[in-house]
Homo-oligomer: A and B are copies of this chain.
Amino acid sequence: MAIKIRKLEKKDKAALTEILQNTPEFNAGEVIIAEEVIDGSLDNTNKSGYYSLAAENEEEVFIGFISYGPVPMTQYAWDIYWLSVKREFQGHGTGAALLKAAEEKIAQAGGRMAFIETSGKAQYDKTRRFYVNNDYKEICNIPDFYAPGDAKIIYQKILG
């Protein structure tokens, strides 16, 4: 599958909202926060400090996105906030292509490390394996952070 990565645009919003709502790993509160991050990144003034990239397939259909931004009060730490690929297009390298494109943008902007936080719950096993396979190292594990039995795992990748 030929995947093209480009800047996220306003026209992607409906398809993107559909992906968020159909991603079982996101709950309702998370969808609201993800939409705030995405709206921030669509604002051309970029006051929000959020950035987003879109993936589309060879038919120019929107199939996934990634959102990221610099960590305030740091010289070169960046956070990856959200990464999601439409379910029927998963397993073909779209997530890795989005992640790699974001890392390149971050490095170009002077970033030297990227962080990703995710849940320790069993339903996120695939998500966590994906980050480890993409050279993210687990650096912190906070039990019961999100809820009882739901730990926060922090991953880091040193860029470049």
Contact = CB atoms under 8 A, between A and B. Distances in A.
A111 to B, nearest CB: 12
Given A73-B146, A76-B147, 14 more contacts: A29-B72, A29-B73, A33-B72, A33-B73, A71-B145, A74-B145, A74-B147, A75-B146, A75-B148, A112-B144, A113-B144, A113-B145, A139-B142, A142-B156
Interface string A72-98: 111111000000000000000000000
Interface of A: 29-30, 33, 71-77, 112-113, 139-140, 142, 144-148, 154, 156
Contacts of A146: 73-75, 77
Nearest to A147: B75
Nearest to A156: B142
Quick one: copies of this chain in the complex?
A: 2
Contacts of A148: 75
A146 B76 CA distance: 7
* The 4 nearest A-B residue pairs measured at CB: A140-B140, A75-B147, A74-B146, A77-B145
Nearest to A142: B139
A116 to B, nearest CB: 13
B113 A140 contact: no
